């Protein structure tokens, strides 16, 4: 690509993402859950998390929930094994299991778990979040535990945490602006001896999307490889827990693209009832900005634009429009 064109495109893209996609920062106050908070999550089949970067749009609006779960946050002192987790500030109770966490001004730590009759207190807590934490921040932390599950097991591992992206998240119930994505990579082993030494190896890659003042991930995508066996899953947070879901205004402004699917020329049209600042763009299936169609103050009335989809690789795209501080989206299929 011509260097001057690249510079121009970068400036346009930056101008596009700045107004409604401010770079979020995770703080102790905006992140840390408290005893008494309960969250309903929806389970759905694993999907790829997509690339990292600034000002992305992730489209999970079409996922189909396969079930729900309640994540009840309780006071650790009220749990049967409180004495084994003296530093914990909150415990998540689910199905008779208790996971213990410690939150303070410096970070968010995993202290261990009681599940299936096994007590696993961490002697070296796993740091799951640093405060404050913003885009491109990264750190590593070692963790470990020694516990009994029929035999004495020693767990040792490392976690690498990176805020690798921020942008706009589309879920089945609406659009959430200014979310930050945190990538958590865990690598650990469980070692024990029966008649011979045995070592189990675990490698996990987890992605969490956070919204300020929402004390639970808005979206999570997880993958765990346990000695060659893969476990994967994904969840999104129920709308009742999110105060800033943006209405999709596509229908209100008659946003349309025709023909769709398209293999060459299509027309994008929409109506404005008054003069508004408008940004019209196209994102690919992994959330990358691929085209800026319009970025200007437009008057009331009908507006039409011609796009040549032959310039795009075949696949599914998202047409996104910002009208003032409201967002609208339409899917585009390119043949």
Classify residue 207 as exposed, middle or buried by CB count within 10 Å of its CB (0-12, 13-18, 19+).
buried
d(CA 150, CA 260): 60
CA 37 to chain CA mean position, Å: 20
Per-residue pLDDT at 21: 54
Nearest of 277, 310, 281, 303 to residue 293 by alpha carbon: 281
What's the pLDDT tens digit per position in 88-120?
999 999 888 999 999 999 999 999 999 999 999
Query: Are 57 and 177 a contacting pair, CB within 8 Å?
Result: no
SS percent in the chain: helix, strand, coil, step 5: 10, 60, 30
The length of the chain is: 335
Structure tokens at 189: 């082993």
Per-residue confidence (pLDDT) for residue 38, from 0 to 100? 93
Whole-model pTM: value is 0.76
**Highest mean pLDDT range out of 187-191, 241-245, 280-284?**
187-191
CA nearest to 33, candidates 133, 136, 129: 129
Coil/strand/helix, residue 17: helix
21: CB partners within 8 A, 6+ apart: 55, 166, 167, 168, 177, 178
Token pair 């993958």 is at which residue?
Answer: 223
258-314 per-position pLDDT tens digit: 999 988 899 999 999 999 999 898 888 767 788 899 999 999 999 999 999 898 999
Mean pLDDT for the stretch of residues 37-52: 95
Q: What is the pLDDT of residue 19?
A: 39
Give the whole-angstrom CA distance, residue 83 versus residue 88: 10
Give pLDDT tens digits for 202-231. 999 999 999 988 999 999 999 999 999 999
Angle at 321 between CA 61 and CA 212, to 5 degrees: 60
């Amino acid at each position: 690509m011509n260097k001057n064109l690249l510079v121009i495109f970068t400036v346009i893209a930056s101008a596009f993402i700045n107004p409604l996609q401010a770079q979020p920062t995770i703080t102790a106050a905006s992140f840390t859950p408290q005893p008494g908070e309960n969250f309903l999550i929806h389970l759905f089949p694993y999907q790829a998390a997509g690339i990292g970067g600034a000002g992305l749009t992730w489209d999970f609006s079409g996922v189909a929930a396969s079930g729900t779960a309640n994540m009840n946050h309780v006071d650790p002192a009220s749990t049967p094994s409180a004495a084994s987790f003296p530093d914990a500030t909150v415990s998540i109770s689910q199905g008779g299991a208790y996971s213990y966490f410690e939150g303070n001004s410096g970070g968010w730590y995993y202290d261990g778990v009681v599940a299936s009759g096994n007590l696993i207190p961490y002697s070296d807590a796993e740091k799951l979040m640093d405060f404050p934490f913003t885009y491109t921040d990264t750190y590593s932390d070692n963790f470990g535990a020694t516990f009994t599950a029929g035999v004495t097991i020693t767990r040792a591992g490392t976690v690498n945490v990176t805020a690798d992206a921020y942008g706009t998240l589309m879920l089945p119930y609406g659009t959430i602006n200014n979310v930050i994505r945190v990538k958590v990579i865990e690598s650990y082993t469980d070692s024990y001896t029966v008649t011979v030494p045995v070592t189990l190896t675990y490698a996990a890659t987890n992605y969490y999307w956070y919204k300020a003042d929402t004390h639970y991930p808005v979206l999570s995508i997880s993958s765990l490889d346990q000695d060659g066996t893969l476990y994967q899953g994904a969840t999104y947070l129920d709308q009742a827990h999110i105060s800033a879901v943006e209405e999709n205004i596509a229908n209100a402004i008659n946003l349309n693209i025709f023909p769709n699917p398209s293999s060459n020329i299509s027309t994008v049209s929409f109506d404005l009832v008054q003069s508004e600042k408008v940004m019209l763009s196209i994102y690919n299936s992994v959330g990358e900005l691929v085209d800026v169609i319009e970025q200007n103050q437009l008057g009331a009335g009908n507006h039409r634009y011609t796009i040549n989809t032959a310039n795009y690789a075949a696949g599914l795209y998202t047409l996104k429009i910002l009208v003032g501080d409201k967002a609208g989206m339409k899917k585009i299929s390119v043949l």
